[in-house]
């Protein structure tokens, strides 16, 4: 009886100490997405951060990539926003306008702020107050990958820089030649396998419209009608529709890896920078990396990726920022991102990434960041803009009239902006 009482007192003492220790810790909730490799990397960073800061408990909230915005909306409705959230850059304006985020310049380590590339600053900046609301280790781009053997077989010119990109006429001429080449089942993989309702559509296909001389919306008047349904945009979407009708594009049902799949059935790939790591593993030196073609007078390429922000409701923004700074400086995390062909958003990370340095296999991709990158429209109506554009592309790829599809999309976008009184102060001509 005496021993049982003693053990009870000891156990009670231990539990009390544990509870007291837990109660002393500051919990920081981090909402994120990512594939299993990145999820594991975040977990290891958290372990190292907690070891260095034993009074902090990092708690992760995972949301699947394709359902991220829905899960974030649920957190908003439940008034349970995390302290730190990962967000897709084009949605930043909507989040800031809605009052979910706080400026991070006073919180993040200054050496990291000074280290950001221009495109990284651009993807995290709200255009109205020009303040920085998010930061990332990386940015992103899309390039044109080519199978060297196939391109040599048709005598294709290989551009050496962004300034030397293929013209529309060259590009379409090569697609036609490739369609007749033995071994080529499809001239190009545009990664339709990602699905028609994913951000990939606006991210990757939007620059084709911009290169052709139009845009998703007029970025001064913030009206879509007259721009998205203009002749230049209709012509660009009709051009893409023709590629699909001709059987030149890998269909959605074939998956997402036909460029580097066994037998290399696709000769070209309009793919993100992340494709390189996967493709080189099987294709070795049979890959050439080309700038996106010019479909009009100028080139255009996308930028923007998943970046880190601190919510306005965080009770510990200083600790949240400390974790973000720790993450972006963590050597093992940076090494992992580099191994995944991470596109540099910090100058120091670019220096650690020979893949993107002058002469590197992806140097053209990094060159696009300073010469042709066009951010997706930084407007609170972006969720509607991208959704309407996705639907228009889907209709056209399924045989619909491009003019009607884009006219309908432009109307939906303008109606949303009107329904929200112009999303002031955007509607005040800011």
Residue 10's pLDDT is 42
Residue 69's pLDDT is 84
Residue 252's pLDDT is 94
Confidence class for position 303, pLDDT limits 50, 70, 90? very high
Residue 428's pLDDT is 63
Confidence class for position 66, pLDDT limits 50, 70, 90? confident
Residue 67's pLDDT is 85
The pair of three-digit structure tokens given for residue 248, joined into one six-digit string = 């030149």
- Beta strands 287-290 and 266-272, pairing class: unpaired
Write out pLDDT tens, residues 130-174. 999 999 999 999 999 999 999 999 999 999 999 999 999 999 999
Residue 12's pLDDT is 47
Mean pLDDT over 266-276 rounds to 96
Q: Which one, of 69, 81, 416, lies nearest residue 216 by Cα? A: 416
Mean pLDDT over 309-338 rounds to 97
Whether the predicted pLDDT of 257 surpasses 90: no
Question: CA torsion sign, 391 to 77 to 56 to 110?
Answer: positive
Residue 16's pLDDT is 52
Instruction: Give the containing element (helix H, strand E) for 333.
Output: helix 331-339
What's the distance, CA 302 to chain centroid? 9
Write out pLDDT tens, residues 188-204. 999 999 999 889 999 99
Burial of 225 (0-12, 13-18, 19+ CB in 10 A): middle
pLDDT mean across residues, the chain:
93
Residue 197's pLDDT is 87
Residue 222's pLDDT is 95
Whether the predicted pLDDT of 269 surpasses 90: yes
Taking residue 335's Cβ as centre, other Cβ atoms within 10 Å add up to 12
DSSP designation for 165: P
175: Cβ–Cβ under 8 A, 6 or more apart, which residues?
187, 188, 243, 246, 248, 268
Write out pLDDT tens, residues 356-394. 998 999 999 999 988 999 999 999 999 999 999 999 999
Whether the predicted pLDDT of 37 surpasses 60: yes
Mean pLDDT over 196-225 rounds to 96
DSSP designation for 203: I
Residue 427's pLDDT is 75
- Could you tell me the CA-to-CA distances from 115 to 44, 309, 335, 405, 417 in Å, in that order? 24, 17, 17, 43, 36
Is the separation of the CB atoms in 402 and 234 below 8 Å? Answer: yes
Write out pLDDT tens, residues 6-27. 444 444 444 454 555 556 899 9
| pLDDT over 90 percentage in the chain | 87
Is the separation of the CB atoms in 160 and 289 below 8 Å? Answer: no
Write out pLDDT tens, residues 232-250. 999 999 999 999 999 999 9
Whether the predicted pLDDT of 119 surpasses 90: no
DSSP designation for 94: H
When comparing pLDDT for 407 and 21, which is higher? 407
Whether the predicted pLDDT of 423 surpasses 90: yes
Distance of alpha carbon 409 from alpha carbon 224, whole angstroms:
8
- Beta strands 84-88 and 306-310, pairing class: antiparallel
Number of H helices, E strands in the chain: 18, 11
């Amino acid at each position: 009886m005496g021993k049982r009482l003693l053990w009870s007192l000891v156990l009670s003492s231990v539990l009390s100490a544990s509870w007291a220790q837990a109660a002393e810790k500051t919990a920081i909730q981090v909402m994120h997405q990512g594939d299993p490799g990145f999820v594991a990397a975040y977990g290891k960073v958290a372990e190292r951060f907690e070891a260095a800061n034993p009074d902090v408990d990092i708690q992760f909230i995972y949301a699947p990539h394709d359902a991220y915005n829905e899960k974030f909306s649920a957190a908003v409705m439940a008034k349970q926003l995390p302290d730190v959230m990962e967000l897709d850059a084009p949605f930043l304006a909507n989040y800031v306008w809605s009052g979910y985020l706080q400026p991070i310049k006073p919180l993040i380590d200054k050496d990291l702020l000074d280290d950001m590339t221009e495109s990284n600053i651009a993807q995290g900046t709200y255009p109205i107050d020009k303040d920085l609301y998010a930061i990332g280790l990386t940015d992103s781009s899309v390039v044109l990958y080519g199978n060297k053997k196939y391109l040599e077989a048709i005598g294709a010119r290989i551009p050496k820089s962004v300034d030397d990109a293929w013209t529309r006429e060259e590009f379409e001429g090569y697609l036609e030649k490739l369609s007749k080449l033995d071994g080529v089942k499809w001239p190009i993989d545009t990664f339709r396998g990602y699905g028609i309702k994913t951000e990939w559509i606006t991210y990757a296909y939007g620059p084709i419209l911009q290169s052709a001389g139009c845009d998703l919306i007029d970025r001064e008047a913030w009206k879509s009608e007259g721009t998205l349904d203009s002749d230049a945009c209709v012509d660009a979407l009709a051009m893409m529709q023709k590629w699909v009708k001709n059987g030149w594009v890998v269909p959605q049902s074939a998956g997402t890896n036909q460029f580097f799949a066994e037998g290399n059935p696709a000769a070209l790939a309009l793919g993100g920078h992340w494709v390189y790591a996967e493709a080189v593993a099987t294709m070795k030196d049979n890959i050439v990396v080309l700038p996106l073609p010019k479909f009009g007078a100028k080139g255009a390429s996308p930028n923007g990726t998943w970046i880190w922000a601190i919510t306005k409701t965080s009770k510990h923004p200083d600790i949240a920022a400390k974790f973000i700074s720790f993450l972006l400086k963590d050597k093992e995390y940076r090494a992992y991102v580099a191994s995944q062909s991470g596109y540099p958003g910090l100058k120091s990370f670019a220096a650690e990434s020979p893949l993107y340095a002058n002469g590197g296999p992806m140097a053209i991709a990094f060159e696009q960041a300073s010469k042709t990158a066009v951010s997706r429209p930084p407007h609170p109506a972006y969720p509607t803009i991208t959704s309407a554009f996705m639907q228009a592309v889907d209709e056209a790829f399924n045989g619909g009239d491009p003019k009607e599809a884009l006219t309908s999309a432009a109307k939906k976008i303008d109606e949303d902006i009107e329904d929200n009184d112009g999303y002031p102060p955007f509607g005040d001509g800011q």
